[in-house]
Amino acid sequence: MRAMMFNEEFETLPRQALEALQLKRLQSMLERVYANVPFYRTAFDRAGIRPDDVRSLQDLQRLPFTTKQNMRDSYPYGLFAAPMEEIVRIHASSGTTGKPTVVGYTQKDIETWTELMARTFVTAGAHKGDIIHNAYGYGLFTGGLGAHYGAERLGASVIPISGGNTKRQIMIMQDFGSTVLTCTPSYALFMAEEAKIEGVDFRNLKLRVGIFGAEPWSEAMRVEIEEKLNLTALDIYGLSEIMGPGVAQECYVAKSGLHIWEDHFIPEIIDPETCQVVPEGTKGELVITTITKQGIPLVRYRTRDITSITYEPCACGRTHARLARLSGRSDDMIIIRGVNVFPSQIESILVGIEGVEPHYLLIVDRQDNLDTLEVHVEVDERLFSDEIKVLQALSRSIEKEIKDMLGVTSRVKLVEPKTIQRSEGKATRVIDKRKLV
């Protein structure tokens, strides 16, 4: 039996029909950006390709990439393909360095986003009648409003709580009977800690489903969240440059990979070093081409997110390809003595060790021309011993595990609880002192 779907016709389009639709939409998008966006006209001319040279999906690989830097260089509206009088909404991503990246939506873009977000909710097992506790930030960040519109379209009751004020969040979840929670996975765990302090037991709440995203997380973290919050935790993917939340969503049926809505986005996986497309199932950087967007369509946008893709049929009945759980960002990737390390890998190791909270900090440095990795791990009561040798054995076992799994020598430093910075948004996990020199 097929799972519930929001738009069954499009979500189950046979592969051939889906690809034919993609090609048609791709060609029309390319014509539009070539005619309206000077950046793309120049880039295509330089690559010696015109929109009508693209006759198959394979030809996409001949087109140049778009990067976050290109967006910054076009700040604020340089890449918009629609005139400003048709733009009804503007969002921007947080710019940790320099200017933010700005995106504009036409009315049709908002409608598309709303539908895809509604599909996303249904894919996660939400339905009309649910009370959706939306703790994604409302504002310039796309998370809050994106999820909000989708929840309304679905016919659910949405609580636009936004981020912050965790005590109040917990009270409202309890009193309003929230059934679905949307926030970042690290904030979900932060809430669990706060609830414990407040004496609130998640088993007494009505929460059933959690849709967590906006930062990479691990399978081990899913187990911990599901246990602590007593709900089914599912992975959502999105980024403001492409649309916002709802680009891809893990289905509750298979709980194995995130369906990317291929009738609106074409995904590719490339090797971030060579920029060549890699075979199905191989890990690499996700590249997305938006084929229906009007405000700011992007051609082969380099997301910097690391994942792999599969076109295997899914138990839920959807035909859209699935992305593997994101395992970090190509720019979060730290190279330690030539070995590629993602913070999420260290996190999986830590959660696997009894008693260790996934609160950790990686400090990368260079001593005598050799890279060093120091891992700070918080010691809580479950793991504390009054004997030095027991704690030292714990440090050594974490070091050994990291060496065995990642091939990197590290030094584990045990630190007092709650001393590593907590955040209600994205967590800082790495301090790379090599970059400061």
Partner 1 sequence: MHVEQISIFIENKSGRLAEVTRILGDAGVNIRALSLADTSDFGILRLIVNDREKAKAVLKEKGFTVSKTDVVAVEVPDRPGGLSLILQTLDGENINVEYMYAFVERCGENAVIIFRFDETDRAIKSLLDKGFNVLEGERLYGM
Question: What residues make contact with partner 1 under the rule CB under 8 A?
Answer: 379-381, 384-388, 391-392, 413-419
Q: Is 352 exposed, middle or buried (0-12, 13-18, 19+ CB in 10 A)?
A: middle
Q: From CA 25, how far away is CA 14, in angstroms rounded?
A: 17
Choice between 9 and 386, CB closer to partner 1: 386
Q: How many angstroms separate the first and last alpha carbons of the chain? A: 59
Chain centre distance of CA 432: 22
Choice between 94 and 385, CB closer to partner 1: 385
251: partner contacted, choices Zn ion, partner 1, none (Cβ within 5-8 A by kind): Zn ion
Q: From CA 284, how far away is CA 418, in angstroms rounded?
A: 34
Residue given tokens 């959502």 in the structure block: 236
316: partner contacted, choices partner 1, Zn ion, none (Cβ within 5-8 A by kind): Zn ion
Choice between 318 and 429, CB closer to Zn ion: 318
Choice between 59 and 193, CB closer to partner 1: 193
Choice between 254 and 333, CB closer to Zn ion: 254
- Which residues of the shown chain bind Zn ion in the complex (CB under 5 A)? 251, 254, 314, 316, 318
Tokens at 368, concatenated = 């005598």
The four Cα atoms 253, 255, 261, 266 give a dihedral, to 10 degrees, of -140
* Least distance to partner 1, CB of residue 395, Å: 8
- Residue 119 sits at the vertex; the CA angle it makes with 224 and 225, to the nearest 5 degrees, is 5
Residue given tokens 């996934």 in the structure block: 358
* Least distance to Zn ion, CB of residue 313, Å: 9
381: partner contacted, choices Zn ion, partner 1, none (Cβ within 5-8 A by kind): partner 1
92: partner contacted, choices Zn ion, partner 1, none (Cβ within 5-8 A by kind): none
386: partner contacted, choices Zn ion, partner 1, none (Cβ within 5-8 A by kind): partner 1
175: partner contacted, choices Zn ion, partner 1, none (Cβ within 5-8 A by kind): none
Choice between 85 and 386, CB closer to partner 1: 386
* Least distance to partner 1, CB of residue 415, Å: 6
Compute the chain's Rg from CA coordinates.
Answer: 22
* Least distance to partner 1, CB of residue 433, Å: 18
Between β-strands 102-106 and 131-134, what pairing exists: parallel, antiparallel or unpaired?
Answer: unpaired
Choice between 28 and 392, CB closer to partner 1: 392
* Least distance to partner 1, CB of residue 387, Å: 6
* Least distance to partner 1, CB of residue 167, Å: 17
Residue given tokens 């593997």 in the structure block: 324
Residues 6+ apart with CB under 8 A from 5: 11, 12, 119, 122, 123, 317, 318
* Least distance to partner 1, CB of residue 313, Å: 49
